[in-house]
Structure 1
Amino acid sequence: MAFLPTTREEMLEQGFEQVDFVYVCGDAYVDHPSFGCAIITRTLQAFGYSCAILAQPDWHRDEEFLQFGTPRLGFLVSAGNIDSMVNHYSVNKRRRDKDSYTDRGEMGKRPDRATIVYTQILKRLFPHVPILIGGIEASLRRLAHYDYWDDQVRRSILMDSQADLLMFGMGENTIIEVADALNSGLPVEHICYIRGTAWKTKSIDWIVDDYILLPSYAQVRDDQRAYAKSFLTQYENQDAINSRLLIEPYDGWYVVCNQPPLPLTQEQMDFTYSLPYERTFHPKYTYVPAIEEVQFSITANRGCFGSCAFCAITSHQGRVISSRSTQSVVEEAKKITEMPNFKGYIHDVGGPSANFTRPACDKQRTHGACAKKQCLWPKPCPNLKVDHRPYVEMLDAVRALPKVKKVFIRSGIRYDYLMYDEDETFFDRLIRYHISGQLKVAPEHVSARVLDKMGKPRKELYLKFVDKYHEKNEELGMKQFLVPYLMSSHPGCELSDAIELACYLKKIHHTPKQVQDFYPTPGTLATCMYHTGLDPRTMKPVYVAKTYEEKLEQRALMQFSYPKNYAIVRRALIKAHREDLIGNGPKCLIPSRPPKGSEGGRRSGGQRRRPNSGKRT
């Protein structure tokens, strides 16, 4: 099966005078099931709809958007696999120098707020053609949301882009329902009944479904308490079964958000990943870096019931797990082993959380996830079913394939869920077969106050996991390391909490090579805390490190041993009245005297900086 057409010439060569849909995407065209563009277009193709792909068009040239002519049913628009603003800017709002989703990693091939820019161009050029937006950027911005880069509350992206329909969540079923409706001749403005869609209307008098009227955009824009309350309502209405319609008023308009799409069944998941993907980037490109981590990886599940406050997976994929059959995963692994550049290593078999391969409890498939209770936090729910056996079976089957040397697990392992399993078979298999020298896990912090805001388990459980991990390595004759992922400046993290984390890092003799500073992205509970200074679950105030100095101190404390951080760490410790951590004692973070290479200390060349020289180190 060939790549889908990416130019008018390719479209004509494949026998199409007109296609049903033109998919406009902010990423380079990579036909791999880790890319939303590939999944949606291959799904449409499987149901008999033709597609052309307009990847990373030059938004300054109308000819790029006109080349395919008018599609029969409509345009599909996505910013790509990542929100375009996250793709372009670091947490410090500095322009990144590499775009992994572009040929040769080149920056500048898509605009900021790509969904809005592409859609507005199409609306101008094709005013009577349905424009449908989707992907992560549209999904997490479906209602009014705090935007970190503008530092203000923006309208629903449906309003700003002027699209006709927004599709959110995992969209295989949604796109086929929408395509069938358009194909039947139904005007796009009448497509208001499909799960996983949001639409706009001037009147809601005719809506008979049970709905929740949210505060207006003007209210949430101007009142942080109103924003927090509205967010909590949305947060508690993300389950496909338990949620209600959400309606957000605007000046003269209403944005209506339907219930999320139902999680895919195992048969549907197997079908999605059986489609004829080329599993690489289009041959017109030299090299798209994003393929590196996923080309030999297998997605085994979707969804996450971990519900970390800083993560948007719940808002996009939901809390109810969808998983594939072992046979389906093995068939994909066989295809990978036949690829000419396969070296014998399956890089990953997993998902958002690799070891979540079944719903958290038996009732979730029929009754949905609880609106006001979490599955793992603050303590595991009594109804939680912990079972790694299907995952073990799947990994064993892939590992047994003739051309496979090793099967790694690189997507996240939930260590708490692992610790709750009385059957230690998976723990043993993980250490013996599926780690490449070190296991990365995400305790994120050690402070109880911060962990509670994150929705993560307390450090005592993590410390038990660490001990058990090292014991098992010793028992099995393995020498493998443990690398903790940690985060600075998360809402709720005060300077004293950052110092507590630094002391823990000192104790375990670990210095993170990279520090993840909290990034307020749309759709997360932690972003709501960041913007409002309130925990929407309790409406109580939350400390938020927002100034450059505060965030710099928290980051530096995690790398307190770096000479370049000496002055910052010293200032932070004095500010917190923790001078006891300055000196030469075994528990001290930094010495009394600045080391070479630090600000105020000796330069690496051994010369002292001259007083009042005006130079900076």
Structure 2
Amino acid sequence: MSFLPTTRQEMLEQGFEQVDFVYVCGDAYVDHPSFGCAIITRTLQVFGYSCAILAQPDWHNDEEFLQFGTPRLGFLVSAGNIDSMVNHYSVNKRRRDKDSYTDQGIMGKRPDRATIVYTQILKRLFPHVPVLIGGIEASLRRLAHYDYWDDKVRRSILMDSQADLLMFGMGENTIIEVADALNSGLQVQDLCYIRGTVWKTKSIDTIVDDYILLPDFNTVKNDKKAYAKSFLIQYQNQDAIQSKMLIEPYDGWYVVCNQPPLPLTQEQMDFTYSLPYERTFHSKYTYVPAIEEVQFSITSNRGCFGSCAFCAITSHQGRVISTRSTESVVEEAKKIIDMPNFKGYIHDIGGPSANFSRPACDKQKEYGACKTKQCLWPKPCPNLKVDHSHYVEMLDAVRQLPKVKKVFIRSGIRYDYLMYDKDETFFDRLVQYHISGQLKVAPEHVSAKVLDKMGKPRKELYLKFVDKYYEKNKEFGKNQYLVPYLMSSHPGCDLNDAIELACYLKKIHHTPKQVQDFYPTPGTLATCMYYTGLDPRTMKPVYVAKTYEEKLEQRALMQYRYPKNYDIVYRALKKAHREDLIGSGPKCLIPAKRPKEVYAHKQRKRVRER
């Protein structure tokens, strides 16, 4: 099996005068199951549909979009594995200098809002050909949403892009149902019945399904309370079984969001990851950096019932876990072992939350995830089934394969779920076999008030986990560390909360090398709080650090030891009336007098500016 064609010449060499679909993508072409483009096109291929890949076309040059001619069934458009705006800009809205999804990491090979730009070009050049959009950028913008970069509420991306149909979520089943419908002769405007799709119509008089009519776009655009209420309805209708059709009115139009796609069964998951991927980037590239973390990694599950407020996984993949069989994971591991550059290390076996290897409870299989209850927060649901046995089975099976030296777990471990397991087999295996010197976990904060807004467990559980982790390291003769992921400026976090976190960091003698500042991305509960200043679950006000100065102070407090941050931390502590933390006492964060290193840093900065 070879790569799919990426030029007209390659298309002709592979025996196609015309392909069924042209997939336009904002990423370089990487044929690996960690890339949505690869999964969708290989799925179409195995179902008998031909595809060409137009990867990172020059949007200033129409000829690039014309090179394959008119596809028989339509164009597929995705911004790539990551939202194009997140890809391009830091949380401070500064342009990034590297794009890991582009050959040699070169920045600028895709436009801002790539889905919109590509689609509008295609609709201009091929006005009568269906253009179908998907991927994470489209999925999280399927209805009206707050846009951090414009600092305003934008319309559904279906409206702004002028696409004919939007596919959201994990789309293997959706794309085949769409392809079969188009192949049967149905018009794209007739595809209004397929799960995981969003479509637009002038009238809803003929809709007979049970639906929820959301506030119209102009209302949510101008009224933050209305926006928060509309978001909560969307947030509570993301489960494939529990949710209803959502309809959002616009001037002269209705955007209709169908129910999400059903989670894949184990057989379907196994099928998806058994497809004939090349498992690397196209030979026309020198090196695509994004392959580094995933080339020797295995996806074992999808979905997440952790439901952190700042994460969009729930909106895209859902809360019900899909998992693969041990046999399927082993077969993929064998393919990795046979790769010429494999050196004995499987970098990861996991998913959004690595140790979620079964649905949260048995009821979810029939009834779906609860609308108004979370599985883990604020306390674990009485129906929660904590079971790591299937995950342990997969890890053990791969670890015992010939030529495998080590199997690491690098995707996120939910330490709370781990702590709720009365069977300590997985905890033992984790410490003994699956850590590369240090384990990264995500307590995110220590303030109870902030953790409640994040949807994360309280500090006390994390501290118990830390103690148990080091006890087990001692038991097994290991010297492995914990690296906590922590976040600044999350909605609900004020200056006093940031100071509490700084004091905790002093207590554990840890200074984060990088600070994760809250990034308001579409589709998350925390982004709704950031924009509206309200918690949509209660409609009560939430403190939000929005100014540059507030964000700077919270970041600096997490790195209070750095001389360059002295003045910022000093100012923050004075502002909070926490002079007790300035001085030489054992609990003080900074000395009373500015260190000499601060003067040296300022002098170097002035020299650079000159």
Using the size of structure 2 for normalisation, the TM-score is 0.99
Q: Deviations over 1:530-574 (max 9, x none)?
A: 000000000000000000000000000000000000000000000
Matched, 1:428 2:425: no
Hey, what's the Cα distance between the residues in 2 that align with 1:160 and 1:477?
58
Provide the residue aligned with 2:173 in structure 1: 173
Hey, what's the Cα distance between the residues in 2 that align with 1:377 and 1:596?
46
Provide the residue aligned with 1:531 in structure 2: 531
Hey, what's the Cα distance between the residues in 2 that align with 1:342 and 1:296?
8
User: Aligned letter for 1:347?
Assistant: H
- Is the 8 Å Cα contact of residues 441 and 482 (structure 2) preserved in structure 1? yes
Q: Deviations over 1:342-364 (max 9, x none)?
A: 00000000000000000000010
How far apart are 1:232 and its partner, in Å? Answer: 0.1
Describe the shift of the 1:583–1:615 C-alpha distance in structure 2 as closer, same or farther (beyond 3 A).
farther
Hey, what's the Cα distance between the residues in 2 that align with 1:395 and 1:13?
42
Q: 3-state SS of the aligned residue for 2:596?
A: coil
Matched, 1:554 2:554: yes
User: Aligned letter for 1:518?
Assistant: F
Hey, what's the Cα distance between the residues in 1 that align with 2:604 and 2:520?
41
How far apart are 1:597 and its partner, in Å? Answer: 2.2
Hey, what's the Cα distance between the residues in 2 that align with 1:243 and 1:418?
29
Give matches, 1:481-500, under 5 Å. Answer: 481-500=481-500
Hey, what's the Cα distance between the residues in 2 that align with 1:50 and 1:559?
53
Give matches, 1:88-487, under 5 Å. Answer: 88-487=88-487
User: Aligned letter for 2:533?
Assistant: G
- Is the 8 Å Cα contact of residues 231 and 536 (structure 2) preserved in structure 1? yes
Consecutive unaligned residues of structure 1, counting only runs of 5 or more, are: none
Of the candidates 589, 592, 600, which is equivalent to residue 603 of structure 1?
Answer: 600
User: Aligned letter for 1:175?
Assistant: I
Hey, what's the Cα distance between the residues in 1 that align with 2:438 and 2:296?
19
Hey, what's the Cα distance between the residues in 2 that align with 1:241 and 1:608?
60
Hey, what's the Cα distance between the residues in 2 that align with 1:608 and 1:293?
36
Hey, what's the Cα distance between the residues in 1 that align with 2:232 and 2:526?
12
Root mean square deviation, CA, Å: 1.3
Q: Deviations over 1:56-95 (max 9, x none)?
A: 0000000000000000000000000000000000000000
How far apart are 1:616 and its partner, in Å? Answer: 7.8
Describe the shift of the 1:133–1:596 C-alpha distance in structure 2 as closer, same or farther (beyond 3 A).
same
Hey, what's the Cα distance between the residues in 2 that align with 1:490 and 1:114?
28
Hey, what's the Cα distance between the residues in 1 that align with 2:601 and 2:133?
54
Q: 3-state SS of the aligned residue for 2:600?
A: coil
Q: Deviations over 1:386-422 (max 9, x none)?
A: 0001100100000000010000000000000000000
User: Aligned letter for 1:603?
Assistant: A
How far apart are 1:365 and its partner, in Å? Answer: 1.1
How far apart are 1:603 and its partner, in Å? Answer: 1.7
Q: 3-state SS of the aligned residue for 1:603?
A: helix
How far apart are 1:608 and its partner, in Å? Answer: 12
Hey, what's the Cα distance between the residues in 2 that align with 1:542 and 1:20?
50
Describe the shift of the 1:604–1:240 C-alpha distance in structure 2 as closer, same or farther (beyond 3 A).
closer
Q: 3-state SS of the aligned residue for 1:526?
A: helix
Using the size of structure 1 for normalisation, the TM-score is 0.98
Provide the residue aligned with 1:43 in structure 2: 43
Q: Deviations over 1:276-316 (max 9, x none)?
A: 00000000000000000000000000000000000000000
Q: Deviations over 1:31-51 (max 9, x none)?
A: 000000000000000100000
Provide the residue aligned with 1:521 in structure 2: 521
Provide the residue aligned with 2:63 in structure 1: 63
Hey, what's the Cα distance between the residues in 2 that align with 1:510 and 1:608?
26
Describe the shift of the 1:425–1:267 C-alpha distance in structure 2 as closer, same or farther (beyond 3 A).
same
Describe the shift of the 1:277–1:616 C-alpha distance in structure 2 as closer, same or farther (beyond 3 A).
closer
Matched, 1:567 2:567: yes
Give matches, 1:497-512, under 5 Å. Answer: 497-512=497-512
Hey, what's the Cα distance between the residues in 2 that align with 1:242 and 1:595?
59
- Is the 8 Å Cα contact of residues 26 and 80 (structure 2) preserved in structure 1? yes
How far apart are 1:614 and its partner, in Å? Answer: 11
Percent of matched pairs sharing the same residue? 87
Hey, what's the Cα distance between the residues in 2 that align with 1:399 and 1:12?
43
User: Aligned letter for 2:123?
Assistant: K
- Is the 8 Å Cα contact of residues 564 and 601 (structure 2) preserved in structure 1? no
Q: 3-state SS of the aligned residue for 1:546?
A: coil
Q: 3-state SS of the aligned residue for 1:504?
A: helix
Number of matched residues? 610
User: Aligned letter for 2:559?
Assistant: Q
Consecutive unaligned residues of structure 2, counting only runs of 5 or more, are: none
Q: 3-state SS of the aligned residue for 2:117?
A: helix
